[in-house]
Amino acid sequence: MTAKPFSFRLIATDGAARRGEIETPHGLVRTPAFMPVGTQATVKAMYPDQVRALGSDVVLGNTYHLMLRPTAERVARLGGLHRFMNWPHTILTDSGGFQVMSLAQLRKLDETGVRFQSHIDGQKYHLTPERSIEIQGLLGSDIQMQLDECIGLPAPREEAQRAMELSLRWAERSRAQFEAMGGPAKGQGLYGIVQGGDVAELRIASARALADMPFEGYSVGGLAVGEPQDVMLKMLEITTPAMPVDKPRYLMGVGTPEDILESVTRGIDQFDCVMPTRAGRHGLAYTRYGKVNLKNARHADDPRPLDETSDCPAARDYSRAYLHHLVKAGEGLAAMLLTWNNLAYYQHLMQGMRDAIEAGTFQDFRAAVKADWV
Ligand SMILES: Nc1nc2cc3nc(NCCc4ccc(C(=O)O)cc4)[nH]c3cc2c(=O)[nH]1
């Protein structure tokens, strides 16, 4: 029995901003989409039902973390990642390369893949394009990523070119493994990842080479690695026009509300970032008025909620004084309420963008949102 094929349809555009819909074996993904990060099979400090109720259509899992613990084979024996984490909607997984380079010890990258030792117990691994796709298949991921090499910025042009060309060879190998495992017939999608550092012609060459391969979607990788925002946005202005117009575009690891607004303006459809969840665990609230750092003593006597106009209880029903108290006292409820608030804000922003693109009022929406940020 073959499942419905993975599909993307463009519903409306407003300038370079796009409103679309992806269909995967686990449901619809409304784009532009923000995808909460659930690295170790959980969106930290949130129940799955809560994440869903905020309007999240996709959560992220990660090959690097899950291959180490509890292992992809164990998750597969237990029915796959959807069953394991009780998330019956779409799951996107990263391929692990980025996390190996940022988390693992004793990393050695060569043509075959990357050898590393686990940051948990020092055990040795060899992650290849084929093994990464095998792991993502064992997890049952609906949207999978090729294995790639992401370099930091700034970088010498030769380094950006070497990593981009290696990533293209790994794209071919990842695609071959994905097809050998019957990914397309299961309705799953595999995304190619555009690399090329901050070098325009490398970005265009990477995008064009990947467009000639039959990927279901395309990621813009190699950004949000410490470069200034204007460099990231410039790379998008160069890269997205060279990407297929009829396939989803996913900007990996981005970002702040402003990053997302400006990247939707430049033709991006999917986003993931640890910021809203990580900030929530560190006492930082995202609100329609901008960021509020609840560690700051100025909130100690403030009876107002974070946002009385919000329909999220975390933003509406608790005073800043109380949230400040919870943060200072190190109470677990602080992370729960602030993560809830932050994801609610991000998903409310995404819904606003989706509606504005459909209505042809995206530029007005963008200006109004930014005007509210003090
Ligand atoms: N396969 C692959 N995955 C990626 C993940 C990324 N994630 C980022 N940026 C994350 C930025 C980031 C990191 C940490 C925090 C925080 O702690 O708040 C916030 C943002 N850039 C990324 C680039 C790639 C890439 O080329 N290839």
| CA 225 to ligand 1 centroid distance, Å | 6
Q: Please tell me if the CB atom of residue 276 comes closer than 6 angstroms to any atom of ligand 1.
A: no
| CA 145 to ligand 1 centroid distance, Å | 14
**319, pLDDT greater than 90:** yes
Q: Please tell me if the CB atom of residue 267 comes closer than 6 angstroms to any atom of ligand 1.
A: no
pLDDT-based confidence at residue 66 (cuts at 50, 70, 90): very high
**Chain-wide mean pLDDT for the chain?**
97
| pLDDT tens readout for residues 327-350 | 999 999 999 999 999 999 999 999
- Residue 368: CA atoms inside 13 Å, Cβ hemisphere, count? 9
| CA 172 to ligand 1 centroid distance, Å | 23
Annotation says 94 is catalytic = yes
Active-site position among 94, 142, 148, 269: 94
Choose one of 64, 102, 225, 250 to mutate for the ligand 1 pocket test, by most ligand atoms within 8 angstroms of C-beta.
225
| pLDDT tens readout for residues 191-232 | 999 999 999 999 999 999 999 999 999 999 999 999 999 999
**Percent of residues, the chain, with pLDDT higher than 70:** 100
User: Which residue's alpha carbon is nearest to atom 9 within ligand 1?
Assistant: 253
User: Which residue's alpha carbon is nearest to atom 6 within ligand 1?
Assistant: 253
Model pLDDT, residue 2: 85
pLDDT-based confidence at residue 105 (cuts at 50, 70, 90): confident
Q: 106: helix, coil or strand?
A: strand
Q: What is the pTM of this model?
A: 0.98
Of all helices (H) and strands (E), which one includes residue 364?
helix 362-372
User: Which residue's alpha carbon is nearest to atom 14 within ligand 1?
Assistant: 274
Annotation says 110 is catalytic = no
Model pLDDT, residue 1: 67
Q: Please tell me if the CB atom of residue 145 comes closer than 6 angstroms to any atom of ligand 1.
A: yes
Q: Please tell me if the CB atom of residue 199 comes closer than 6 angstroms to any atom of ligand 1.
A: no
Question: What's the token pair of residue 163?
Answer: 């990593």
- Contact criterion met (CB below 8 Å) for 221 and 147: no
Within 8 A by CB and 6+ apart from 57, the residues are 27, 28, 29, 30, 33, 35, 89, 90
- Residue 298: CA atoms inside 13 Å, Cβ hemisphere, count? 3
- Contact criterion met (CB below 8 Å) for 110 and 117: no
| CA 360 to ligand 1 centroid distance, Å | 31
* 146 CA closest ligand 1 atom index: 1
Q: Please tell me if the CB atom of residue 35 comes closer than 6 angstroms to any atom of ligand 1.
A: no
